[in-house]
Chain A
Amino acid sequence: MSEALLEVRNLSKRFGGLKAVDQLNFSVAEGAIHGLIGPNGAGKTTTFNLISGFYRPSSGSVLLSGEDISGMPMHRIARRGLVRTFQHSTLFAELSVLENAVVGTYMLYPPQTFAALAGLRLSRDDAAKNRARQVLEFFGLLDHADELARSLSHGHQRALGMAVALASRPSIVLLDEPFTGMNPEETRGMMKLMFKIREAGATILIVEHDMRAIMGICDRITVMNFGRFLTEGRPNEVRRHDEVIEAYLGKSKQNA
């Protein structure tokens, strides 16, 4: 673990009078699996949307490899190597599994408009398909390549969502609640996939409230509450942290 790949500095987002995220600071080391957790309404998803360019920050900044990316549109941020997944299996439902992955390779092999008009088949189109097959194989989806994305099982759809994100070989991938609605077996499969992704060289930032899964895979965890930074540390430290227990379970000590 070396220097910070992603750094969040004094990040704030206000919706009218509500401070959804308030002066948040944390950083994600290169090669880490980093968790961002907190009770419902803590501002995790807002933070995610700020980092990935879905929202513009009210103040503060987000640095990717030392460069300021805050306020950039989402596709620009993606082109710098930061991609995200979405909650609830967001996919191109009417496209085949392979086509979904091909869209994911867009940044590696951008299609040529004039070639399309002239009807030329470019070698990069084949390269895109090959890369798509490669990433489907990585996620164990190659057997389903010709099926429609909407006909896949829930677990496979999740895997495909990650395949689309990983197809462009991003340096960091943001996973939005990847364990939601999964049974224990699917959760174990997903955890294995995350280790595989890290081995393949990507850094991972996860937003999640499934504590069991996140404790099992993260190197470091940042805890938020009421839009603010609460604490940060290794899973074991965070698990025993009084304020974290308090945030999740209410004030147990005083009332006991």
Chain B
Amino acid sequence: MPRWLVAVGVLATAALLLALPHVLSFSQREVLVFMTINILVVCSYRLLTLTGEWSLGHVVMMGVGAYASALLAKKVGVFVPLAMLLGAFTAAMVALVLSVPLFRMKGFYFLIGSFAAGEIIRLLWKRFRDPFGGPKGIKRIDPMPDFDLGIWNFTFFDPVSYYYFALLVVLAGLFVMWRVEKSPIGLVFHAVHWQDNLARSAGISVRAYRTLALVLSSGFAGLAGALLAHYIGTVNPNMFDIEQMVYVLTWAIVGGTATFYGPIIGCVVLTVVNEIVLREIGLEQGRPMIYGMLLIGTVLFLPKGLEDLFHRLSRIGLLFSRQPRGGQ
């Protein structure tokens, strides 16, 4: 692709992302904030799947970040943006500890093990009122403080402001994950996923790299959790239960995990379906059913996810736009 085309694409996307909240209603703006945060969750989930392991504890890791950030801000009085980063770090460290027993397993056993580990963490939140607040969780979490950068005046109670803030954080996170995937580390992740024995024979510690992927992905999930906690001001154990995990899985599978943009497409399309289409026609109660049907339909008819549909469409577009070249 020519460089100017890339530049135009980036500028157009930036303009679209900046203008987007202004064409939406107030409640849709809130949904937009949630969707932005969810994109970080589902993309960080994909980072783990790069090494071939699928977890059912990812949303709980998001919760670890949310709880840690909330507690640090509320009980210790840590400056909120710093608390968010520490929340992400806490999630990464909890993942590092959990990786010790979990990566003694792989495949289906890892999946079930990660679910069990997540449930244990959720039970700890429920059991220990101090400091986790029990089943009701933590309320009145310190909001992100207002600030004024001259060109950008952040006011917490305006969803547009928080959307811009979350967008900035999420884009930074996506950028780091994208770079990791394109780096030699990403190559090793691929090697570990597709031929673990050949990778071992090349001197690669498969377990070390699966751990690295789990720790990084949990760290970014924790960051997303912290963003969420300081936006809605409350966290409780049910926000991070298996139902939420199934939504993340659905976004990832419907979007497809082979490309970086697959899960983003999945998250955006399903959020639009859910919040705009279903809510407009009053079918939001049917969300689990619709999601289930979409999941089955995707697996049956589009096993590589929506990304494959985009891929095919763009190829058709290229066929019409490009002169046929010899030998290609």
Contacts and interface: CB of A to CB of B under 8 A. Distances in A.
Contacts of B188: 103, 106, 111
A84 B204 contact: no
A73 interface: yes
B139 to A, nearest CB: 35
Contacts of A83: 201-203
B187 A95 contact: yes
Given A92-B191, A92-B198, A117-B176, A78 B183 contact: no
A116 B204 contact: no
B190 interface: yes
A54 B185 CA distance: 24
Contact of B185 (A86, A93, A111): A111
A73 B212 CA distance: 19
B184 A78 contact: no
Contacts of B199: 103
Given A111-B185, A125-B184, A84 B201 contact: yes
A107 interface: yes
A107 B194 CA distance: 19
B183 A91 contact: no
B180 to A, nearest CB: 5
Contacts of A93: 194
B195 interface: yes
Nearest to A53: B200
Nearest to A85: B201
B201 A113 contact: no
Given A91-B195, A91-B198, A95-B190, A107 B180 contact: no
A116 B201 contact: no
A64 to B, nearest CB: 14
A168 B200 CA distance: 13
A102 interface: yes
A104 interface: yes
Interface in A116-164: 116-117, 119, 125, 128, 164
B198 A86 contact: yes
B184 A92 contact: no
A45 to B, nearest CB: 13
A222 interface: no
Contacts of B204: 75, 103, 106
Interface size on A, as a range, is 35 or more
B194 A78 contact: no
B202 A164 contact: yes
A73 B201 CA distance: 10
Contact of A116 (B180, B191, B202): B180
B91 to A, nearest CB: 16
A79 to B, nearest CB: 5
B205 interface: yes
Interface in A71-102: 73-75, 78-79, 83-86, 90-95, 99, 102
Interface residues on B, range: 20 to 34
Contact of B180 (A99, A117, A164): A117
Contacts of A86: 197-198, 201
Nearest to B191: A103
Interface in B211-239: 212
Contacts of A104: 202
Contacts of A167: 202
B194 A106 contact: no
Contacts of A225: none
A103 B212 CA distance: 17
A165 interface: yes
Nearest to B177: A117
A215 B287 CA distance: 68
Nearest to B185: A116
A90 B203 contact: no
Nearest to B208: A75
Given A90-B195, A90-B197, A92-B194, A168 B202 contact: yes
A70 interface: no
B106 interface: no
B327 to A, nearest CB: 14
B206 interface: yes
B312 interface: no
A117 B206 CA distance: 19
Nearest to B216: A117
B49 to A, nearest CB: 15
Contacts of B212: 113
A204 B205 CA distance: 24
Residue with the greatest number of chain A CB neighbours at <10 A, chosen from B176, B194, B197, B201: B201
Contacts of B190: 92, 94-95
The 6 tightest CB contacts between A and B, nearest first, are: A111-B184, A116-B183, A107-B203, A74-B200, A78-B203, A116-B185
18 contacts: A75-B200, A78-B201, A78-B203, A83-B203, A84-B201, A86-B201, A91-B198, A94-B194, A95-B190, A103-B199, A103-B202, A107-B202, A116-B179, A116-B185, A117-B179, A117-B180, A128-B184, A164-B202
Interface of B: 176, 179-180, 183-188, 190-191, 194-195, 197-206, 212
